[in-house]
């Protein structure tokens, strides 16, 4: 499937960390998804900075690097539900604001605007039945399709991604599935992720 995203402006905004915390507590799941999973796709070509919008804002607008690092360290691969991710984001912020209460109401350099992802999926022409066909398709599909199946999929097929699920379940290649699942989406660009998956799968093909 190919996924495309339209961003809906919710009207919610935060001007300080206390308001950010309230916003994270009360916003929709689609908003949490947008600022964590989807932001990784939006800046897929960068490995500098934080892929999580909340962390990036805590650093760039509020100059709170310690909080930014804590928020950025929440690895979206470890979450099977957005509710669990939201709970940990809230916990990280509450903990930090208990330690540094004066940071709560310090005005950020610019506001944080909450927006939610409206996702539309359409089938791609690619249907694969073998590992060779999988490699051919993966080399062809867009970054958005890759993100949909490799990153966002963890909410649909927990605790893994669509590729690993299919490789393990349909082709019985459990070791390859695990190796692919371990590819780091934070220290690679998404093009880098694609290359790593193809390297792993191609090596498997060569082995026969």
Partner 1 sequence: MTQPLSAAGKAVSLDDYQPVVGTAEVEETRALAQRLASRSVKMVNSTAVGGGVAEVLNRLVPLLCDVGLPTSWEVMTGGNDFFEVTKAFHNALHGLSYETSWQAFELFLTYTEQNLQRLSFDADFVVIHDPQPVALVKARQSGAAHWAWRCHIDISNPQPLVWDFLGQFVRRYDAALFSSPNFTRSLPIPQYLFFPAIDPLSQKNQELDADFIRSTLEKFSIDPKRPILTQVSRFDRLKDPLGVIEAYKLVRKYKDCQLVLAGGGAADDPEGGQVLSEVRAAAEKDPDIHVLELPPWSAVEINALQRAATIIIQKSLREGFGLSVSEALWKKKPVVASAVGGIPLQVIHKLTGLLTHSVEGTAYQIRFLLSNPAIAARLGENGHEHVKENFLITRNLKRYLLLFLTLCGAA
Q: Which residues bind partner 1 (CB under 8 A)?
A: 2, 4-9, 11, 13, 42-46, 48-49, 60, 110-111, 113, 115, 118, 120, 122-125, 140-145
Q: Which of 161, 141, 182, 184 is nearest to 3 (CA)?
A: 141
* Nearest to partner 1 of 6, 207 (CB atom): 6
State in angstroms the smallest separation of the CB of 112 from partner 1.
9
* Nearest to partner 1 of 100, 143 (CB atom): 143
State in angstroms the smallest separation of the CB of 159 from partner 1.
28
State in angstroms the smallest separation of the CB of 10 from partner 1.
8
Cβ 115 vs Cβ 8: under 8 Å: yes
Q: Could you identify the residue written with the tokens 């022409």?
A: 125
State in angstroms the smallest separation of the CB of 47 from partner 1.
10
* Nearest to partner 1 of 125, 208 (CB atom): 125
Cβ 57 vs Cβ 112: under 8 Å: yes
State in angstroms the smallest separation of the CB of 14 from partner 1.
12
Bridge-partner residues for 5, per DSSP?
Answer: 119
Q: Which of 116, 183, 195, 199 is nearest to 150 (CA)?
A: 183
What are the helix (H) ranges across 65-189?
65-72, 82-99, 131-140, 143-150, 162-169, 174-181
State in angstroms the smallest separation of the CB of 70 from partner 1.
21
CA gap 50, 63 in Å, rounded: 13
Cβ 110 vs Cβ 19: under 8 Å: no
* Nearest to partner 1 of 9, 84 (CB atom): 9
Residues with Cβ within 8 Å of residue 94, at least 6 apart in sequence: 21
* Nearest to partner 1 of 42, 157 (CB atom): 42
* Nearest to partner 1 of 48, 102 (CB atom): 48
């Amino acid at each position: 499937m190919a996924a495309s995203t339209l961003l809906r402006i919710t009207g919610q905004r935060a001007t300080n960390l206390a308001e950010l915390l309230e916003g994270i507590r009360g916003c929709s799941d689609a908003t949490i998804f947008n600022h964590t999973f989807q932001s990784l796709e939006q800046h897929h070509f960068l490995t500098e900075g934080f892929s999580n919008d909340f962390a990036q804002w805590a650093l760039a607008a509020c100059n709170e690097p310690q909080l930014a690092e804590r928020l950025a360290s929440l690895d979206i691969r470890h979450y099977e539900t957005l509710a669990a991710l939201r709970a940990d984001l809230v916990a990280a912020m509450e903990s930090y604001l208990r330690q540094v209460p004066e940071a709560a109401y310090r005005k950020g350099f610019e506001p944080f605007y909450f927006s939610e992802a409206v996702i539309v999926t359409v089938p791609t022409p690619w249907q694969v039945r073998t590992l060779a066909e999988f490699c051919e398709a993966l080399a062809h599909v867009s970054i958005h399709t890759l993100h949909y199946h490799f990153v966002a999929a963890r909410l649909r097929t927990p605790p893994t991604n669509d590729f690993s699920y299919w490789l393990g379940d349909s082709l019985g290649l459990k070791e390859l599935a695990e190796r692919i699942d371990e590819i780091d989406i934070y220290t690679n660009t998404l093009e880098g992720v694609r290359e790593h998956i193809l390297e792993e799968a191609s090596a498997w093909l060569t082995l026969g």
